Amino acid sequence: MTKQRFWGWLPTDVSHSVRVAGWVNLAVNIAIVVTGGAVRLTASGLGCPTWPTCTAESLVNTPEMGIHGIIEFANRVLTFVLVVVALATFVLVIRLLRSRPPLFWLALIVGLGIPVQAVIGGISVLVQLNPYVVGLHFVVSAAIVALCSIFVSLMYARTAEGPSPRYLWVSLAFLIVFQSITIVLGILTTGSGPHAGDADAPRNGLNSEFLQHAHSIPAYVALGLTVLTLLLSRFARRRRLMFLAIWLLVANCLQVIVGITQSRLGLPPLLVGTHMFLACVVVALIAGVASTLRSSRESRVSPQN
């Protein structure tokens, strides 16, 4: 009886609870990147020197570990919040498998991605914050943020603007490629810089100054492609795409400003953390822009969503 009541309680369409869960899922996955950045930028990456416990004798941080232990353990605790939110989101869309299968599969993949992230984070601690493992940690986080953003977009049928002109697809494809290159080079640049997460953590040994310049080139190209995508969306009269492209342009402009400023000021932690946050925002917006180019059956039957 209880099982039947629970099953009957689950939404059969994109309800208010599904929308809330989708937005919260996106927010907390961006938040975990920000708090992870705080761990690294405060040199707290080995605040808990082992994994999955904080120390060999304690599951949680101890007073002797000081502020670094608190920061690192707090970031680990947030992972459990991610699990709860991801699980709640998945449960809420279980009955949507037939009517809205993309939402079901996106929620499932995001949910499975969180323990994978936890394992990668644990490995990064066990290998003393190897910069390539830490970089992989960010790449997976960015992918999860993109999936969460697509989930949010798919919740609203009005975001589907139908088949698009080929030039829009081409412009967006190049934008995604150059934005991805920018992120990868940014990760390598960070791995060669001063913010290793711990004073004794290894660096990747690459030329940091060269990487900063190499990182800026695709960033400027991506900025130009954002402008192009915005103009093409205006020409094609794609209002939703144009709206998101405007915000993407704002985010990319801020990224360029913050990137130049942090480089000239010697990479202050606050600006580096802001750069990481904006990178997640850019990823979310690009995923949202791409999702508007889909053709949606729901947009024809549920124009009010």
Q: Over the stretch 90-106, which tens digit does the pLDDT of each residue have?
A: 999 999 998 899 999 99
How high does pLDDT run on average in the chain?
85
Q: Which two tokens stand for residue 188?
A: 């390598």
pLDDT at 153: 94
Distance in angstroms (rounded) separating the CA atoms of residues 227 and 54: 47
| Cβ contact 47:35 at 8 Å | no
Cα torsion 57, 112, 37, 136 to 10°: value is 100
Distance in angstroms (rounded) separating the CA atoms of residues 20 and 61: 33
Q: Residue 107: pLDDT above 70? A: yes
Residue 205 banded pLDDT, cuts 50, 70, 90: confident
Distance in angstroms (rounded) separating the CA atoms of residues 205 and 219: 23
Q: Which two tokens stand for residue 300?
A: 């024809």
pLDDT at 301: 42
SS3 47: coil
Of residues 152, 157, 140, 155, the one with CA closest to residue 24: 152
The residue-averaged pLDDT of 7-36 equals 90
List the Cα angle 119/185/115 in 5-degree steps. Answer: 15
| Amino acid, single-letter form, for residue 8 | G
| Cβ contact 229:289 at 8 Å | yes
Quick: pLDDT tens for 152-171: 999 998 888 777 788 999 99
List the Cα angle 143/283/154 in 5-degree steps. Answer: 80
Under DSSP, the state recorded for 202 is -
Q: Residue 300: pLDDT above 50? A: no
The residue-averaged pLDDT of 278-292 equals 94
pLDDT at 195: 66
pLDDT at 297: 60
Which uninterrupted H or E stretch holds 223?
helix 208-235
Distance in angstroms (rounded) separating the CA atoms of residues 294 and 96: 19
Under DSSP, the state recorded for 159 is G
Alpha carbon of 73 to those of 62, 78, 79: distances in Å?
10, 9, 10
Q: In sequence order, which ranges of the chain are alpha helices (DSSP H)?
A: 2-9, 16-41, 66-92, 101-126, 131-155, 166-192, 208-235, 239-264, 269-291, 298-301
Q: Residue 237: pLDDT above 90? A: no
Q: Which two tokens stand for residue 64?
A: 């002797």
